Amino acid sequence: MVMPRFVRPKEGDSESSPNLYVANCGPAVGLSFDTIASAFSSFGEVKGVYAADESGARVIVSFLEPASAHSAFIALNGRPCPHLGGRSLHIRHSILQPPSCREMASVPVSLNASDLNIPGLYLFHDFISVVEEGQLLQAVDTGSWISLSKRRVQHYGYKFCYDTRNVDTKQHLGALPSFVSFILERISLSPDIPETLDLDQLTVNEYPPGVGLSPHIDTHSAFEGLIFSLSLAGPCIMEFRRYTAGSWVPKTASISGMEVENPNSCSEVSGKAIYLPPRSMLLLSGEARCAWHHYIPHHKIDKVNETMIRRGSRRVSFTFRKVRRGPCQCEFPQYCDSQSQT
């Protein structure tokens, strides 16, 4: 989700702006955008109310005329608003900043993978039950977490090394845990999954509110062509980018586990997005796995078809992969580290 970006005006420009930044106000505190617009309309015509950030508790109120914004500022800043349940508002003037390259790539959020038209991308809703979800969460919560900079992880089968973005095949951690056996069986028996592999690596990620992943492609030489990701506990949006130029290789690797974005101009990238509800299984294969960067925006609230959805206290993902034993020979050499080295 991309929001209108507003910033503080330069000194002396406040009264020329029709926009107000209003804190302690928004869906997170029980106030809809329509309710807010109605309350501020007593000062003049309101063009729109927008989320100021991902918190859901700060909004931008945009008037048609700067004088209306200034009148609202004088009347309500630091004072209780009778039309908003007596809530005290904290207001400052704001101006619209021209959109950046990333913001211009905004796309609507789809609910089904088929709507995205990305070859090799599948989403299976309700892949597990609510009871099974609870059992999986209980199982990992009794295990040992590894703390990264903004999230926690667990590795099974093989440990993923964030500094090299690869795995050490000589350091086998053992078989995948028994509590995921039913998932592996369900994958192998599913008629909707085009092919299966003997999956031998599992990474469990726990994301606190507002934490996501930066754009990346899972290293080709590390894993085979199918990647399964099961979402638990909380929802999120996953976005996809296909670059028409440039290399798969990021500028730097990060030992914190937060991957680095491929630096390309917005004219060289196409973007798509999908909503991942709890208990859904995402499959990346073919072009979706090898040529599209995927990432999770760092939001606490996602906008899906005009509906604001809060991510919840945590989101846990189970990502299943097959460790590759030889070089990758895919049809996307510009994104393939195996082929870039030959």
- The 10s digit of each residue's pLDDT in 97-133 is 544 444 434 678 999 999 999 999 999 999 999 999 9
Domain boundary among 96, 118, 143: 96
Q: Are residues 161 and 70 in the same domain?
A: no
Residue 76 shares a structural domain with residue 114: no
Domain boundary among 64, 96, 128: 96
Pair 121, 168 in one domain: yes
What pLDDT score does 320 carry? 97
**Sign of the C-alpha dihedral computed for residues 120, 155, 186 and 195 taken in this order:** positive
Q: What are phi and psi of 340, to 5 degrees?
A: -75, -15
- pLDDT of 21 over the 50 cut: yes
65 plus 88 within the same structural domain? yes
CA 176 from chain center: how many Å? 27
Whether residue 215 sits in one domain with residue 175: yes
If DSSP codes are grouped into helix, strand and coil, which group holds residue 28?
helix
Predicted pLDDT at 55: 72
Structure confidence at residue 149 (pLDDT):
80
Percent of the chain at pLDDT above 70?
Answer: 84
* 146 in a structural domain: yes
* Claim to verify: residue 66 and residue 26 sit in the same structural domain: yes
| 3-class state of residue 293 by DSSP | strand
Residue 187 burial by Cβ neighbours in a 10 Å radius (0-12, 13-18, 19+): buried
pLDDT for residue 302 is more than 90? no
**Distance between CA atoms of residues 297 and 265, nearest Å:** 19
Domain of 82 in residue numbering reads as 6-96
Averaged over 217-226, what is the pLDDT?
Answer: 92
Q: How much is the pLDDT for 116?
A: 94
Number of compact structural domains in the chain: 2
Angle of CA points 201, 204, 209, to nearest 5°? 155
Residue 179: pLDDT band (50, 70, 90) is: very high
